Structure 1
Amino acid sequence: MTEQITVIKVGIADMNVVRAPNTIRTSGLGSCVGIVLYSPMKPIAGLAHIMLPEACISKSGVVNKAKFADTAIHELVERLEGLGVKKNTLLAKIAGGAQMFQFNGTSDIMRIGPRNVEAVKNTLQALRIKLISEDVGGNSGRTIEFSPATNQLTIRTVNRGTHII
């Protein structure tokens, strides 16, 4: 009898964790970045769908931690530690961060995708989490699905097909 595999879906500005044999998926990664944190020591992984680089740009004062690179990664680490994963064993894979629209001028404010990628990498570096692989940039949307059983991240890119990192 084969074990039933459930796909846990993560929405925009959302996060979740999954145990093998289940997988975790998010779609709609344009300028957003999908980050997977996992440990090769345990078949558990977390995924966050990050929309913006930093929570300090939130005007409301109420922060959805999953929405921002700096807060989402910290929260994902805490959730994984709560499931018995040791922080010093965590590895990361990322995808997304596309520049979905072309703008005239050099305004940094419109470079959301590249800024998201940079913020994710800076936060990972600050937490001493090794970035194993990435599929970022370009101008196409992506859907990603991670299997904590195999530690493979499957990426479907609009007009480019599917590949695994």
Structure 2
Amino acid sequence: MGSPTIGSIFAQRVVIGVGDMAVSNNRLVTLSTYALGSCVGVLAYDPVVKVGGILHMMLPDSSISPEKALVQPAMFADTGLPLFFRSLLGLKADRSRLRICVAGGACVLASHDNFKIGERNTQATLDFLAANGYRVRQNITGGTTNRTVHLEIGAGDVTLKTPEGNEAISLAA
């Protein structure tokens, strides 16, 4: 077993809740968000400066609640995505080096989802990314499965967890 390393003693997990986001340049941090159902998680990572972040976006358009968007902009695609990328650039990430993974956007309701929130969240996200010149490296959206994601800032490694198992993705390579 051995002794713990200094890094493991100081390692931190930051949990991003629904309608929230976090960015970091601390190599000892792992960002995590849980149970992405119809919500969409956007993970971005710059492997040169080791800056990354996760946005856990809940709805595609803030026009349904402009007041809520003022106090919780990460809840909506149209307000959260610009804030998320500005925050990454504020930590010296370079937009041309950002590697992006999109996860979630599922239809997890037992009955048919007439509002198609997962699909609309995914489309709003992909439309924003394309319009702003961001290339998506991994798109793990749709279906009927909840997803949990973890992003290790020091390594750029993503762990995607579903009821069926885990998948490892590198945003550093």
Do the two structures share a fold, i.e. TM-score over 0.5?
yes
Question: Are the counterparts in 1 of residues 38 and 107 from structure 2 also a CA contact under 8 Å?
Answer: yes
Structure 2 residue 123 is the aligned partner of structure 1 residue 156: no
Query: How much is the aligned-residue C-alpha RMSD, in angstroms?
Result: 1.7
Matched position secondary structure for 1:89: coil
Amino acid aligned to 1:36: L
Work out whether 1:45 is the aligned partner of 2:52: yes
C-alpha distance in 1, partners of 2:117/2:6? 43
1:44-83 equivalent positions in 2, closer than 5 A: 44-58=51-65, 60=67, 62-63=69-70, 64-83=72-91
- Provide the C-alpha distance between the structure 2 equivalents of 1:59 and 1:66, rounded to a whole number of angstroms: 12
Kept in 2: contact 1:93–1:153 (CA 8 A):
no
Whether 2:17 is the aligned partner of 1:11: answer yes
- Structure 1's unaligned 5+ residue stretches are none
The answer as to 2:24 corresponding to 1:20 is no
CA contact (8 A) 2:14 2:29 kept: yes
Q: How many residues align?
A: 160
Change (3 A) 1:41 1:100: same
For residue 59 of structure 1, report the CA deviation from its aligned partner.
Answer: 5.2
Q: Is the 8 A contact 1:37 1:76 kept in 2?
A: no
Determine if the alignment matches structure 1 residue 136 to structure 2 residue 141.
yes
State the alpha-carbon separation in 2 of the partners of residues 61 and 43 from structure 1. Answer: 32
Normalising by the residue count of structure 1, what TM-score does the alignment of the two structures yield?
0.89
5+ residue gaps in structure 2? Answer: none
How do 1:83-162 and structure 2 match up within 5 A?
83-101=91-109, 102-103=111-112, 107=114, 110-158=115-163, 160-162=164-166
Taking structure 1 as reference, are residues 139 and 61 closer, same or farther at Cα in structure 2, changes over 3 Å only?
closer
